[in-house]
Structure 1
Amino acid sequence: MNTYRFHFNDGNKTTTILFWFFTTLLTVALTAIVLVIHPDPLFPAWLLLISVPLMLTAIYRLFKVASERQLTEIVSLSEKGFTSICFGSVLFSEIRSIQFPAREIALLGGRQYDDYKQTDVDLPTLVFSITIANGKTLNWVLNEWGGFYNSEEEFSIFFNFLTALTDQLYQLYHANEPYNSYLKILDEKGSWEKRDLIMSLYDLTYPEIIDALRKIDPVHEIIIENEAFIPEADLILCRFKGERFNLKYDLNYGPDLDAVGNINKSDLETIEQLIIEQHRASNKDKIK
């Protein structure tokens, strides 16, 4: 399991930041006016007793709110998905779409840092989005060359996570296909969307798997012997052509087939396909 630690901007509290930004400008301007044109009947000295505390408060609140947008992220990547301390656990099978600003990333051939230095163009703020099955969107906002919220080194760490993530998705869904434009699976716009016709065991819930196993034609020689429940997982004890195998459904990471008897990898792949085909046969109008 690989772990990636970095900071990022969560992109929230924009309205609050704007409020304190303009409040800071107003109080700084008021304080400056009192100091510059003092003494003046319209701006007596006692206004400083109000404007200075307000100015200091506004500056403090501005920096405080801005700093609260910086979150510390630790992502652990496994063979089945990743776990984020900010967003929780996500299975690869739950990922429905990805959107990266690929063309703006120098590491992917985008505009280089020196090009920005020679012009008045601002360094881009990069938003990386992953949408999962329940409709939730995970957003990380970073600057490739470092800034207020992340360092350049932290962006490299984050980019390594993206590379590993897209590589896993490539192996899962596109192993027999040529690489796409960016990071193996992203198109020229930096997008990837899971194709509905692709289905794996990870797309099925525990009730769907157990239902499919029970309905599989006996000719395929899959027999359910027992069901067991252990902490954080459900276990289905089965036989395929007389040989034992277990289907473990981890509550965090989903299903996994384990050979117990004399079953090889090809047999496990056959079992998975039989389960998926039976599920599709039972749900002709429903593709997960």
Structure 2
Amino acid sequence: MGLLDGKTVLITGGARGQGRAHALVSAREGADVILVDIADQIATVPYAMAKESDLAETVKQVEALDRRALSVVADVRDQSQMDAAVASGIAEFGKIDVLIANAGIWTQGPFWELSEQSWDDMIGVNLTGVWKSAKAVAPHMIERQAGSIVITSSVNGLEPGQNYAHYVSAKHGVIGLMKNIALELAPHGIRCNSINPGAIKTPMTDHQGAWDMFAGHEGGTEEDMMAGGYSFHALKGRTFMPPEVIANTALYLNSDLAAAVTGVTIPVDAGHMILPGFNHAPVE
């Protein structure tokens, strides 16, 4: 018996990385999955985003676990596309029990140098896209008087981060959004929670820009990033963690184990948020 036997889980940003981990953990626990991804490049994002071939690979891996998978190319910023994705999922599987609003991007820049397009893309994907995803699935869940929604925030939904004010704003925003969704859907038996990941190794974080950030200079390496990850976390032996640690927490939240849990956010950060802070670069 799996924790999600007979459930259908819709995952945004489902083509690879964290989304793929959500898909495989959900499938392992008995769920069929709907994988939604833009499968295209957003111009302000400096790293290579997922392609349709990544979606196809995730479908293949889910099917290898003897579960069904439906892939849908859609942009979470477009309500009509998200409504169509939900409709396709219901037509295929008959129902949607769970939404994991996981789609996200990450870029860097001092707030006074960010372009309007960079700001708009970040808020559009990481905050507005969560609202539109939840909006698309809410009427179906209300009709069924059941459902679970899990939103991916970040430790940067709880604290600032140097040179990504737009990301911090979006991730703080989704925590507030989560609480309101939880409040408004509680009378319908629908739960909503969020997760605050620490340093997770996915294509969104494992690229030259992140390597340089952890190295403190251009020309950083993956080794620099992995070394920096140990200082980011408090728990012994934890550097950048695999995305399954987040998927396992989402599994708990979407299962009956968390049947009485709604309106909360769970840091999965290997103790990052309990670290005492200090000024790494004081200015006198």
The verdict on a shared fold, with TM-score over 0.5 as the criterion, is no
Q: Which has the larger share of strand?
A: 1
Higher relative contact order (CA 8 A, sep 6+): 2
TM-score, length basis structure 2: 0.25
Larger Cα-atom Rg: 1
TM-score, length basis structure 1: 0.25
Q: Which has the larger share of helix?
A: 2
